[in-house]
Chains A and B, each alone.
Chain A
């Protein structure tokens, strides 16, 4: 595909984004606090966090719309602090698309080429390639108000890619779309990114979107990066209570450390007197209050007791049928409850409130977090 080759050629110099000690202070509060990140060329990188976590401010500083209080940003190895946005050569897609309402689809996509004084024939060819890429051929003469939200989004994407930017920045680009269209656009966006090998820095508060699209992601909270890693690393091994709670779902069982182990694995005893093994999110000491986090789909039910697994008896207190799965609330004693998600396979016996449910799960899928972190982690 011609467009893919053309854009890939523009990328060949190896455009990675590097952020060092980036800080933005608004008055007394720090919107972004000492953020450092390395983004590999050609990768899809996501900044994930709740609103006010500083993810958009970070993106705006990379784009050049917000001036950092401290820190440095490198694009393709060159510092960009002194450059205004228009000289940074970064494509950007905005939350509300920001398609120019008075220009046609063609004029919108041609805009970055025109301001670069590209010859007319080249403009027509490259806009045509882009329209083909985002599957909007034939829409050249339409005005934005004649387009649906998804179509406007594609115009914005084509417009941001047509000048072969070093990096594509996206600020919650799918937030305004309804759920079905959003899922569809996620797939299309990922496909285009992979075809063009373009580096994408993506901002979202939607954890599902972040997990499905990213090569790597950074979870942000209160201006700081909480954890960086692949979606698998972040989901399976959250490094903090915040990450565990924000990304996916977890049940937490309170207890105290009985064996601090070698620093990476530890044992704890719950209020009900059950001993559990797990991986320590951070070094623990004996007697410390901890929370054991377990994902709802990690539980095994009614299996024969296997060595090396964690076990707990339990009693079902609630069941919610959700089609493919059923979610049970299971009382494990001492006032603690966990959520258990089971596939509704043919053999699976449905259980009602009051039924006993013996749970087992793997220590590698149990993460122990220091409980005091809960105060400022959640």
Chain B
């Protein structure tokens, strides 16, 4: 052991021995923090700032890349489509996710844990694999079309894949676990006694749900919706593989500008807009739900 005594440290005028010791302790922990902080600063913050800088600097400070983004109808269409897709996916996730979370909360602990694994499992499977799975199901000769044709509900296969419908299905599937887990984590915190109290006061099931449970689960609804919405905005893999030719979302445009057009400053401006919207959304989310809590139910 190194000499650890306060006596070994040079006395600093105006500080007591315990303050010196605590400062040493603080330094030790900050030293631990140095390697990960260095990684993040050099391999994350610096590159992202560089990207943002590129969007406003080309032969001097300029806003022309942003002007182009908001002036040309093609790009405005991309922004509009991105928002519309994200909003639709968010609503679909809510409609499918809220009832599931509600049912899960009411189940006995063992069954609940088992079914939560079913919710979480897709979440851990590679996104590209999950997208592929839906491509298999939704293709012209895929399982869904085959089934519908056997039931004589359709004569010709529906254009499920490579269409807006396909993109929506794939994205909803990919983001549904976020909605379920966020809503579930909030619902789990609701005191079941409150609903029972409402029943004892004469409220029917629907009334107790609408007047007590639903308002109390609002942070979960809002949090889940925000999370799904901001994650939809930056989606790339699923809409690119499952969407139609006109389903061009902002992340796809960024990739296109980087890889094909090689217009890096414009790609950076697009990224800056996406980042800004995401950060604002995330801030709102963090006010509603604590991020760590989302994973608690799955432990």
Direct contact of A and B (CB under 8 A): yes
What mask results when residues 4 to 32 of chain B are scored 1 for a CB within 8 Å of chain A, else 0?
11111000000011110110000000000
CA distance A94 to B19 in the complex (A): 25
Assign chain B's interface to a size class: 10 to 19
- Interface membership of A24, Cβ < 8 A: yes
B4 to chain A: which residues have CB within 8 Å? Answer: 83-84
Q: Is B6 touching A67 in the complex (CB atoms < 8 A)?
A: yes
CB distance from B21 to the nearest CB of A (A): 4
Q: Say yes or no: A82-B16 contact (C-beta < 8 A), given A67-B21, A67-B22.
A: no
Residue of A67, A82, A83, A86 near B18 (CB, 8 A) is A67
CA distance A70 to B7 in the complex (A): 13
Q: Is B7 touching A81 in the complex (CB atoms < 8 A)?
A: yes
CA distance A219 to B4 in the complex (A): 33
A86 to chain B: which residues have CB within 8 Å? Answer: 1
Q: Is B1 touching A67 in the complex (CB atoms < 8 A)?
A: no
Enumerate A51-107 residues with CB–CB distance to B below 8 Å: 66-70, 81-84, 86-87
CA distance A1 to B1 in the complex (A): 36
CA distance A87 to B17 in the complex (A): 18
Closest residue on chain B to residue A82 by CB atoms = B5
- Chain A interfacial residues counted at CB < 8 A: 13
Q: Say yes or no: A69-B18 contact (C-beta < 8 A), given A82-B6, A82-B7.
A: yes
Q: Is A83 touching B16 in the complex (CB atoms < 8 A)?
A: no
Q: Of B5, B16, B17, B18, which is in contact with the most chain A CB atoms at under 10 Å from its CB?
A: B18
CA distance A84 to B18 in the complex (A): 13
Q: Is B17 touching A69 in the complex (CB atoms < 8 A)?
A: yes
Closest residue on chain A to residue B8 by CB atoms = A82
Closest residue on chain B to residue A70 by CB atoms = B16
B5 to chain A: which residues have CB within 8 Å? Answer: 81-84
CA distance A68 to B5 in the complex (A): 13
CA distance A86 to B1 in the complex (A): 10
B21 to chain A: which residues have CB within 8 Å? Answer: 67
Q: Is A81 touching B1 in the complex (CB atoms < 8 A)?
A: no
CA distance A68 to B4 in the complex (A): 15
A24 to chain B: which residues have CB within 8 Å? Answer: 18
CA distance A263 to B6 in the complex (A): 47
CA distance A81 to B18 in the complex (A): 10
CA distance A67 to B9 in the complex (A): 14
Residue of A25, A70, A81 near B6 (CB, 8 A) is A81
Closest residue on chain B to residue A79 by CB atoms = B7
B16 to chain A: which residues have CB within 8 Å? Answer: 25, 69-70
A83 to chain B: which residues have CB within 8 Å? Answer: 4-5
- Enumerate 12 A-B pairs (CB-CB under 8 Å) in ascending A order: A24-B18, A67-B22, A68-B18, A69-B17, A70-B16, A81-B5, A81-B6, A81-B7, A81-B17, A82-B6, A83-B5, A84-B4
Binding site for A on B (CB under 8 A): 1, 4-8, 16-19, 21-22
Sample of 18 more A-B contacts, CB < 8 Å, known A25-B16, A66-B18, A70-B16 = A25-B18, A67-B6, A67-B17, A67-B22, A68-B17, A68-B18, A69-B17, A70-B17, A81-B7, A82-B5, A82-B6, A82-B7, A82-B8, A83-B4, A83-B5, A84-B1, A84-B5, A87-B1
